[in-house]
Structure 1
């Protein structure tokens, strides 16, 4: 979800009202895109979340706790040195653009107050976070050198310059009459596009609402409007501006039937049809909800481990292909024995060093004389030596068959295991979960690193959901957790579920005595399908059986089990419905 500059106006107003005058107690950087400022106000603490993630750059207040790496990144240490302990003087927006400026008063040498500015540019792939003293860059989260931009360098020690001026009107400060006059310069454009092109900070969402509120269709051209129409447009824009200026905002998120975000704004959007509107108390709450819903939060090491596992999967798949070809070749071992036997039978009729090919009756046919077999020879050797060569190749390939079968089986197990780790990584959402997967990768020999585990660190908990009838459903998040859930947490009468033929999480329905209700069983099966490699498929087969029928073979990899007495359900997981359900995880409350 991305807000335009116009909808950011009430957000910045809201942040300034809550944080101005507050002391920055602590600064942390949970991942490469995100910085958190812990701000203390009299009687209240706030957590300001700033992310320059290209897919979802945001700034908002959050209430959830966010885990941090043991070692803070360099940018975080610079911020701590420069502004930790400082007081926020003001939070403001540059014109109506997606640029937020946080002025922070810090104490310099001799008790002099130095004002430093944290600039947050929320502009998609060009997003950045820059710390300034006056106009000089102290440090920045994303370094922009000559290889990235010829227009604007963003590097420590350089003078900071704002992004290139767009030469557009600011409807919060400029007269709407000026906007109307500028619109008339683009008679060939659709009115919505002309508004976006003329006014800074206005995206298509805000522009379409203005046009709709004025009584026009989204496709109307500027040239089709008369003076009365322009007056209607001016009135529609002014009504929203008045609400913003008087701080009478209505933060709203609009979802489609699949709970996918359609649009968001600080005011109602009447032009949208067939959507579910969701209203929030503050813009920060709106942003926090949408971030959770879309999963736009990247954990440190998650990308690295995903690349590692993907690479190992590719290697194992390639190895399996090569081994399969070698097995086919090894299965032709009998051909070498036949040729050796024929040479043995006719050795006394042949002279040594005859040539490259000899044609002899095939003694394994009913009428050998009618079935001649061409046998290649190495003329450097005698007939007996050629015969021994064929027997040697036969023995070698027969031994290879058994070894190849074992290697192929091991390769298939590796592929299943790595796929299960990949699935666990996709659903991981905390540093502890990533740490557990890291431990698993090290123990399995795929990652060669030492891991420092804090003595006080508690293991992660499985997902915990409550069905409509109150039944508890548990979902493992990684292979270690799957084993613990299935063999330590679950009781013998509980119901165990897992996708058929797909790597995924172990799911357990807690049962007292009775069998689970059909709706509960269906929900658990849907969760099993969603937390698996088949989460984007339809009619996913999910096996279920009482936990007493699930066993773990001796020496098996984490997460691997065998089971009997299973039945199968077919379900189709809905991504957005599952995303909303995850927000109700009881182990996160």
Structure 2
């Protein structure tokens, strides 16, 4: 990963300049993989994110605080007990390991001054946040590691904290260019220069190794066994520049962004290896760089974590309803043969005098068939012909009743499945804890989630829909969940406003506020494109969108949230808008 030991050394220096002497004011744990500590200095208040996410582990200053759960997790409560009010006195990094130790001076339960260390380990999926006491013993950690998970290094309360096993690599801080060239010469196999550097040097990421190769080879592929004297000289020169930047913390935060504005890499060195295919942007601080690089990924990850329970519930409901509909349709198909039961009963009643007692099957002429073809009718030998006929009539009435009930049940199950699909779409549009709270409240009201016994817990209100302004100045409102959709369509909008919904897909209710005017064709098209964007059809090239005046939209009595009927509508085909 790009956040290597050398980059972390620059982060450490940046944090030291701002945080040494600051006190831990507030501590949050917005999710199971992140800790946020709000520090207060004499000049300002700063928030530091400690993230142990597998794909975005890092530590740095942030501007915005993610939403927090109503009940703080156990580790958060422990940190509040141990560190709230404590003063940060030192930040340590062992060599160029991806580990930072934050030493806090605090007072324990006995009134003695002690040091509590918060250790941030940045190691991909093995990233962790560990709390260590003044004796070097682990108090607790974000991720506990027992003997079943690792036989080399345990991370459990009460055990002595140990650094991760060291790698047999050269330390840039103590290794000059001559020692590097000597070490590279000892590598027996032919190897690309960037890979050889990655294998040899501690605390350096692939992007830095590729950049050195790019500079040494001037964009060409290089094999360590084929380097000429000039290339060896350039290698030594660029390595010494790298060493100077790492030793003196003199690097500069650079982020690489694709032409589509998606960030793809970052470093403390200026990056040239991408050529014209990407743009290199310099940031003010290393924390700002990390926030810009990981912001979109983190927000998506946080929502996915918070959505897990709802996603699991909706998936189970959807699968159960699909199985139920499939089973009911199979039963309904069997009911299609109910008339054969009635005919068998009629034939037995008409020919009962000719049927011998104890027969198991009888062949009778079907007087309902224009060709008077013979059919076989199975019998229960323990019953008389008349009794067998009555049994066939009973089975016929049972099948007829079942057919009527199954048809009603299948329609209801399909409507419920459509509703669950609409909640799935609401979940995809959710951007905050409040959005998820509204979805939970909706599912609770419909009986899918048990009501909380906590009387103090307030029910989530209905938030405002998304608002967009067209080029003409008219506004378009877009609901993000079914409760918003109902309020928007049935209460907020006026009768002359225009209502939009994607045809055949779950999606948001979209309303064009006309202000009493007749909207133009272009305004209709723009609003329809927004309706397509906020629907399950957003990835299609062309989307059919129905639209009509609000006066033609009604909500059936007893209908689930977001479910409406509409008439007198038109359909327009649009491309989902950005």
TM-score above 0.5 = yes
Q: Structure 1 stretch 440-449 or stretch 314-323: which is displaced more?
A: 440-449
Please state if 1:129 is matched with 2:129.
yes
Q: Indicate if the aligned counterparts of 1:191 and 1:218 stay in contact, CA closer than 8 A.
A: no
Q: 1:455 to 1:162 in 2, by over 3 A?
A: same
Please state if 1:350 is matched with 2:352.
no
Gaps of 5+ in 2: none
Q: Indicate if the aligned counterparts of 2:170 and 2:200 stay in contact, CA closer than 8 A.
A: yes
- Tell me the CA shift for residue 145 of structure 1: 0.6
Q: 1:338 to 1:468 in 2, by over 3 A?
A: same
Please state if 1:107 is matched with 2:107.
yes
Q: What is the alpha-carbon distance in structure 2 between the residues aligned to residue 123 and residue 463 of structure 1?
A: 39
- Tell me the CA shift for residue 249 of structure 1: 4.5
- Tell me the CA shift for residue 386 of structure 1: 1.1
Q: Indicate if the aligned counterparts of 2:2 and 2:205 stay in contact, CA closer than 8 A.
A: no
- Tell me the CA shift for residue 351 of structure 1: 2.2
Q: Indicate if the aligned counterparts of 2:540 and 2:575 stay in contact, CA closer than 8 A.
A: no
The correspondence of residues 35-50 of structure 1 with structure 2, limited to 5 A, is 35-50=35-50
Residue 405 of structure 2: aligned partner: 403
- Tell me the CA shift for residue 236 of structure 1: 2.7
Q: Indicate if the aligned counterparts of 1:253 and 1:279 stay in contact, CA closer than 8 A.
A: yes
Q: Indicate if the aligned counterparts of 1:252 and 1:267 stay in contact, CA closer than 8 A.
A: yes
Residue 430 of structure 1: aligned partner: 432
Residue 463 of structure 2: aligned partner: 460
Gaps of 5+ in 1: 579-589
Q: Aligned to 1:214, what secondary structure does the other structure show? A: helix
Residue 480 of structure 1: aligned partner: 483
Residue 230 of structure 1: aligned partner: 232
Q: What is the alpha-carbon distance in structure 2 between the residues aligned to residue 104 and residue 423 of structure 1?
A: 46
Q: Indicate if the aligned counterparts of 2:544 and 2:571 stay in contact, CA closer than 8 A.
A: no
Residue 581 of structure 1: aligned partner: none
The correspondence of residues 486-497 of structure 1 with structure 2, limited to 5 A, is 486-497=489-500
Higher-RCO chain (CA-CA 8 Å, sequence separation at least 6): 1
Q: What is the alpha-carbon distance in structure 1 between the residues aligned to residue 42 and residue 111 of structure 2?
A: 23
Q: Deviations over 1:526-574 (max 9, x none)?
A: 544444334455444443444343322221111112223132324357x
Q: What is the alpha-carbon distance in structure 2 between the residues aligned to residue 509 and residue 54 of structure 1?
A: 43
TM-score (structure 1 length as normaliser): 0.89
Please state if 1:323 is matched with 2:335.
no
Please state if 1:333 is matched with 2:338.
yes
Residue 442 of structure 2: aligned partner: 440
Q: Deviations over 1:224-282 (max 9, x none)?
A: 21232122123334445545566554433333354433222233321114224444322
Q: Indicate if the aligned counterparts of 1:353 and 1:383 stay in contact, CA closer than 8 A.
A: no
TM-score (structure 2 length as normaliser): 0.91
Q: What is the alpha-carbon distance in structure 1 between the residues aligned to residue 507 and residue 31 of structure 2?
A: 26
Q: What is the alpha-carbon distance in structure 1 between the residues aligned to residue 315 and residue 89 of structure 2?
A: 47
Q: Deviations over 1:108-141 (max 9, x none)?
A: 3675431111111122221111000142101101
Residue 290 of structure 2: aligned partner: 287
- Tell me the CA shift for residue 397 of structure 1: 1.0
Please state if 1:311 is matched with 2:316.
yes
Q: What is the alpha-carbon distance in structure 1 between the residues aligned to residue 527 and residue 244 of structure 2?
A: 49
Report how many residues are paired: 570
Q: Indicate if the aligned counterparts of 2:271 and 2:280 stay in contact, CA closer than 8 A.
A: no
Q: Structure 1 stretch 309-318 or stretch 85-94: which is displaced more?
A: 85-94
Q: 2:572 aligns with which of 564, 568, 573?
A: 568
Q: Aligned to 1:156, what secondary structure does the other structure show? A: coil
Q: Indicate if the aligned counterparts of 2:91 and 2:100 stay in contact, CA closer than 8 A.
A: yes
